[in-house]
Each structure stands twice: as structure tokens, then as C-alpha cells.
Amino acid sequence: MDARARRTLAILALLAVACSLPFMLTNFRLFQFTQVYVYAIAILGLNMLTGYNGQFSLGHGAFYAIGAYVSAIMMDKWNVHYAWTIPVAGVLCLIVGFLFGLPALRLEGLYLALATFSLALAVPQILKYFEHWTGGSQGLVLSKPTAPFGLPLNPDQWLYFLTLGVLIVLFWLGANLLRGRVGRAIVAIRDNHIAAEAMGVNTSLYKSLVFGVSAAYTGVAGALSASVVAYVAPDSFDAFLSVTLLIGSVIGGLASISGAVLGAMFIQFIPNWAQDISKAAPWAIFGVFLIVFMYVMPFGIAGAIRLLWIRMQRSRVALSPKPRETAAT
């Protein structure tokens, strides 16, 4: 079996496990896994921009918030069915992201990070200001969706499948994008901006588009979270959210699609573990986890797996008793 088929089998097996979980886990655990999938989508968005395209963003919490509130307002004020709010949130964030990407073209590295950070900081205040729409600091209480077509699933199971479905679609699209010509152009821009330009890549257009797509992904995640948590409030979208997404992205592995899921699992479960380990200073434990992870796996979990895989391959080749083909004597 060649590598491609093996990879497909692996993914299918993982999917089979994922689909069986709703019938094995409690509703509470399902809720946690649904959150993981939501974060994974958000982190994939961030990965595209920061990992693949080299544009540092410390403000993706803003797009998550916009997605969540677009969905919440549509459901609360106009009684729109939750399913429709998700693509709308995505498209809106695509536009906002693209528009933000245009001036961001002028900014590099640190300054871009801080400009995006500023955006993330301003969002809670803006949300509180437009009280009439957003419910101000009280937020908006929403209803949890129930399974459609009379399917025998409880709301938690349905949301799990919905989120998983969206994740699969978005990841598949993302993989196609990033592994093809567009992906190579995007990475080329990251690695050597000027050379890419010289080779005919329209760097400005690509950079802004990546910003837009990245924002769209994170916006969709936000919209999903509005239904999963069934509540939005400015307090949920503070600066720490953007930092958390960045942590998930780096820990999972920056230029990696599978890394997004790994990073999401980290940010969802490790703080809980830390609380179990130490009631007194759980965040200190979390901080130690962060530092140790970066020591051991500076390229993230996905990066470490990749390195391990390469090393395994190399040792296999070195050990295999293949006869050497000698040149013609």
C-alpha cells in the first residue's frame, strides 16, 4: 500500500472513531470534544495566516467574536435558523478579514502582531457600546439547537456531529488549498517575500486573501461556538482568547493542518488537568507545560511527529539490507 492510500485509511479510521464517540461518551464529554473541534477550526484559520503565510496575528479572537455575535444577533433578533448563520458569519468575516489584510500589507512581524492585538482588545468595548444589537455587557442568551428531521440524537450529540461535519469540510478544503499551487505560493511568500514577488506571485493579493480566508475560518468557529455554548457576552472574547488561539496554534504545530486539532486539544484539556494537579496555582502548572512543550517540541506537536517520522524512515532505510546498485563497472 502506498503512502497516499495509507494516509487515507488512517484518516478514515480516525473518522470512524470520531463518529462513534457520541454513542460512548457522556454529554458533558461530548460538549468538551465539540469545543475542541470549534477551536480546531479557529486554529486552522490562524495557522493559515501565521504558519503558512508568515503574517503574525495576535487578534484572531476578534474574528471569533465577530462570527459568534453575527450568529447570535441573527438568531436573537431575526429568528434566523442557526444553520444559516454559520455561512453568513463566514462570508462576513472573509470580507472583514480581507479589508483588514489590505492595510496590514504595510506592517511586518511584530508591528502586525501588535496591530492585530489592538483590534482584539477593542472588540469587547465595541460590543458593549452597541448595546441595542449585542445586549451589551449582559450578553445574549441563545437556545441550543435540537436535531433536525426528527433524528434520534440529543442536542449535544447533534451539535457534535454538526461541528465535526463542518470541521471535515473546512479541513478538506483547507488541505486542498494549502497542498496545491495556491499553498505553495502562500508558503513562498512567507519564506522569501521578494523572491516570490520576483517569480510573479501577486504577493499583495495573496496576502490579503489569506487574511480573509483565515478570518472566515475563525469566524465560522465563532458562529458554531455561539450555538454550542448558547450564550455570548463581551467577557467571553477578551485578549486572553486571542492569546489562547495563538498558543494552540504554536503548540499544535504552525504550518500544519493536523496540528490544529492537536493544539485545540491542548488548550481545551490542559488547563483542566492543571487544575486537577494543583488547586493552589493551576496556571503556574499550565505555564510550565507551555515552556516544557516548547523545549521538547519547538515546532509543535505536529512538527515533532513529523521529525520522528522522518527519523524512523531514515533508520529504516539505513537498516534495510537492500543491495547496492553499483554503477556499470
Partner 1 sequence: MDIFVQQVVSGLATGSIYASVALALVMIYQATDVVNFGQGSMAMFATYICWAMLNAGMPYWGAFVATLVIAFVGGVAVERIVLRPVENAPILSIVIVTLGLFVIFTSIAGWIWTYVQKPFPSPFPSKPLKVGNIFFGAHDVGQIGVTLIVLVCIYLFFRFTPLGLAMRAAAHNPVSSRLCGIRVGWMLALGWGLASVFGAVAGMLVAPVLTLDPNMMGGVQLYAFAAATLGGFTSPGGVVLGGFIVGIVENLVGTYVSFIGTELKLTVALAMIIVVLLVKPTGLFGTTIVKRV
Partner 2 sequence: MVFTRKLLSLFLAVGLAGVTLAPVVSAQTVVGVTATEIKIGNTNPYSGPASAYGTIGKVIGAYFKKVNDEGGVGGRKINYISYDDGYAPPKTVEMVRKLVESDQVAVLFQTLGTPPNSAIHKYMNQQKVPHLFVATGATKWNDPKNFPWTMGFQPNYQTEGRVYASDVLKKHPDAKVGILYQNDDYGKDYLKGFEDGLGDAAKKMIVMKQSYEVTDPTIDSQIVNLKNSGATVFFNVTIPKFAVQAIKKAHDIGWKPVHYLNNVSSSLATVLKPAGLEASKDLITALYMKEVTDPQWRNDKAFTDWVAFMKKYYPDGALDDQSNAYGYNVAMLMTIVLKQCGNDFSRENLMKQAANLKNVELPLLLPGIKVNTSPTDHAPIEQEQLARFTGEKWDLYGEIFDAFRKQ
| Interface ranges with partner 1 (CB under 8 A) | 50, 56, 103, 106-111, 113-115, 117-119, 121-122, 125-126, 128-129, 194-195, 239, 243, 246-247, 250-251, 254, 280-284, 286-291, 293-295, 298-299
C-alpha cell at 282: 493551576
- Nearest to partner 2 of 98, 286 (CB atom): 286
Q: Under DSSP, is residue 141 helix (H, G, I), strand (E, B) or coil?
A: strand
Give the C-alpha separation, 207 to 102, whole Å. 8
* Interface residue with partner 2, options 88, 114, 177, 230 (CB under 8 A): 230
- The CA dihedral of 306, 312, 314, 320, to the nearest 10 degrees, is -150
* Cβ-proximal residues to 226 (8 Å cutoff; 6+ apart), any chain: 67, 68, 69, 71, 72, 75, 85, 142, 232
Give the C-alpha separation, 139 to 120, whole Å. 18
- Nearest to partner 1 of 241, 250 (CB atom): 250
Quick one: what does residue 114 bind among partner 1, partner 2, none, with the CB cut-off 5 to 8 Å set by partner type?
partner 1
- Nearest to partner 1 of 228, 251 (CB atom): 251
Task: From 37, 55, 56, 76, select the one nearest 224 (Cα to Cα).
Answer: 37
Task: From 218, 212, 192, select the one nearest 203 (Cα to Cα).
Answer: 192
- The CA dihedral of 250, 251, 252, 256, to the nearest 10 degrees, is 30
Query: Closest distance between partner 1 and the C-beta of residue 224, in Å?
Result: 26
Q: What share of the chain is helix, strand, coil (3-state, %, to 5)?
A: 80, 0, 20
> Does 31 sit near partner 2 (CB under 8 A)?
yes
What are the start-end ranges of the E strands in 75-216?
140-141
> Does 265 sit near partner 2 (CB under 8 A)?
no
C-alpha cell at 318: 539505513
> Does 6 sit near partner 2 (CB under 8 A)?
yes
* Interface residue with partner 2, options 71, 116, 225, 227 (CB under 8 A): 225
- Nearest to partner 2 of 20, 202 (CB atom): 20
Terminal alpha carbon distance of the chain: 35
- Nearest to partner 2 of 201, 267 (CB atom): 267
- Nearest to partner 1 of 90, 252 (CB atom): 252
C-alpha cell at 143: 437556545
* Interface residue with partner 2, options 25, 80, 91, 175 (CB under 8 A): 25
> Does 273 sit near partner 2 (CB under 8 A)?
no
- Near partner 2 in 32-51, by CB under 8 A: 32, 35
- Nearest to partner 2 of 6, 184 (CB atom): 6
Quick one: what does residue 242 bind among partner 2, partner 1, none, with the CB cut-off 5 to 8 Å set by partner type?
none
Give 231's strand partners.
Answer: 141
**Measured between alpha carbons, how far is residue 47 from residues 1, 25, 178, 229, 323 in Å?**
31, 30, 11, 24, 43
Quick one: what does residue 10 bind among partner 2, partner 1, none, with the CB cut-off 5 to 8 Å set by partner type?
partner 2
Distance of CA 118 to the CA centre of its chain: 20
> Does 310 sit near partner 2 (CB under 8 A)?
no
Site string for partner 2, 125-144 (x = CB under 8 A): x--x-------xxxx-x-x-
Contacts with partner 2 by CB under 8 A lie at: 1, 6, 9-10, 13-14, 16-17, 20-21, 24-29, 31-32, 35, 125, 128, 136-139, 141, 143, 225, 229-231, 233, 235-236, 238, 240, 275, 282-283
